[in-house]
Amino acid sequence: MEELAHRRLPFEKIDPSSHAWDPRDRSRRYSVIVNRTSPSSHRRGHDNVLFYAEPLLAYWEAIGIPVINPVAAWRFEKSKALQIQLFERFGVRYPRTIVLNHREQIGKVIDRLRFPVLLKPNIGGSGAGIVRFDSPAALEAAASLHFGPDGTALLQEHVEPASNAIVRVEILDGEALYAIRIVRAGESFNLCPADLCQLPAPATDASLGACPAGTTGGLVVTRYDAPAPCVETARQLTRAASIDVGGVEYLVSAEDGEAYFYDVNATSNFVANAPEVLGFDPFSRFADYIVRVATG
């Protein structure tokens, strides 16, 4: 928004946590909608956004307003299970995963996976709710298991990343904008490199506190030249998920040296301190894209 304001372009910030719309109103009062809704909104007291955003985005699309990251992208953004199906559809290597919606199913599928495993809520965001279990006994003995807002979870083999690093390839309008390598100091699953995440963590959830670029928050973020096949996979996945701007994350296994994809993001805040980390400002190029879509 700072870039749009700098260019003196008119815009309106829409808060989906407190909003109303009339299906009979067919007026196109916006030249473009930029969807930056995050599935982690329920972690910030906005549970109502998760399932409100989908019909709202569909309404805007139905009356002919261009939407950057449309309703189809939002469906993939808020469902790790749909992302796994996308990996399977395109033959992309990913950690072995079982999708389930009840604790009683664990005993029926536990022998299909190699430990350690991660239990991930289907709707997460910023690493929320991910728990590691090192043995079947530890998983079955867990006092409580968090399946997230939609009661669905992924049971996924943990692939140890080489050098404790992951790579995020950022895509804009079907092309690679940049890639970054994120090295974490500990076991945190919140690897968001964006400005938005540089907020104090709630005292009850320390896992939300490791999120910026540079060397803050236990993360080291550097620009990275991702291998061409990984970049092409990221382009293919975002295209199939109707994502106009977003990031695809993968890691290289410490065991076999292969790249494993594990996350597709349709919410892109870009890396913090971008000019310093990347050598250019991605927000400027994003603003250019918004203007192109708005003007047809």
Annotated domain spans of the chain = 97-157, 160-280
**pLDDT band of 213, cuts 50, 70, 90:** very low
**pLDDT band of 189, cuts 50, 70, 90:** low
pLDDT at residue 58 greater than cutoff 70: yes
Q: What is the pLDDT of residue 202?
A: 37
Please indicate whether the domains covering 97-157 and 160-280 agree at the CATH topology level: no
Q: What is the pLDDT of residue 78?
A: 92
Looking at per-residue pLDDT, the higher value among 3 and 267 belongs to 3
Distance from C-alpha of 130 to C-alpha of 213, rounded to nearest angstrom: 22
Look at strands 67-68 and 33-34 and give their pairing. Answer: parallel
Q: Identify which of 42-56, 97-111, 182-196 has the greatest average pLDDT.
A: 97-111
Q: Lowest-pLDDT range, 33-42, 202-211, 275-284? A: 202-211
Q: What is the CATH number of domain 160-280?
A: 3.30.470.20
Element (H, E) at 49: helix 49-62
**pLDDT band of 99, cuts 50, 70, 90:** very high
Q: What is the pLDDT of residue 19?
A: 94
Distance from C-alpha of 108 to C-alpha of 249, rounded to nearest angstrom: 30
Fold of 97-157: Dna Ligase; domain 1 (3.30.1490)
Q: What is the pLDDT of residue 195?
A: 39
Is this structure's pTM higher than 0.85? Answer: yes
Q: What is the pLDDT of residue 200?
A: 38
**pLDDT band of 204, cuts 50, 70, 90:** very low
Q: What is the mean pLDDT of residues 74-97?
A: 96
pLDDT at residue 96 greater than cutoff 50: yes
Name residue, tokens 């991660």: 118
pLDDT in tens, 101-156: 999 999 999 999 999 999 999 997 666 689 999 999 999 888 888 898 999 999 99
Cα dihedral sign for 184, 186, 187, 190?
negative
Q: How far is CA 124 from the centre of its chain?
A: 9
Dihedrals phi, psi of 37, to nearest 5 degrees: -65, 140
pLDDT in tens, 228-286: 999 999 999 999 999 999 999 999 999 999 999 999 998 777 887 888 899 999 999 99
The encoded tokens of residue 293 equal 């879509």
Contact between residue 106 and residue 140 where contact means Cβ atoms under 8 Å apart: yes
Looking at per-residue pLDDT, the higher value among 275 and 79 belongs to 79
Q: What is the mean pLDDT of residues 213-234?
A: 82
Q: What is the mean pLDDT of the chain?
A: 87
Long-range contacts, stretch 286-292, CB < 8 angstroms, 24+ apart = 286/3, 286/172, 286/245, 287/3, 287/4, 287/7, 287/9, 289/68, 289/172, 289/173, 289/244, 289/245, 290/4, 290/32, 290/34, 290/68, 291/9
User: What's the longest Cα–Cα distance across the chain?
Assistant: 59
Contact between residue 133 and residue 116 where contact means Cβ atoms under 8 Å apart: yes
Q: What is the pLDDT of residue 212?
A: 33
Q: What percent of the chain has pLDDT over 90?
A: 70
Contact between residue 76 and residue 123 where contact means Cβ atoms under 8 Å apart: no
Contact between residue 268 and residue 170 where contact means Cβ atoms under 8 Å apart: yes
Q: What is the mean pLDDT of residues 27-54?
A: 85
**pLDDT band of 198, cuts 50, 70, 90:** very low
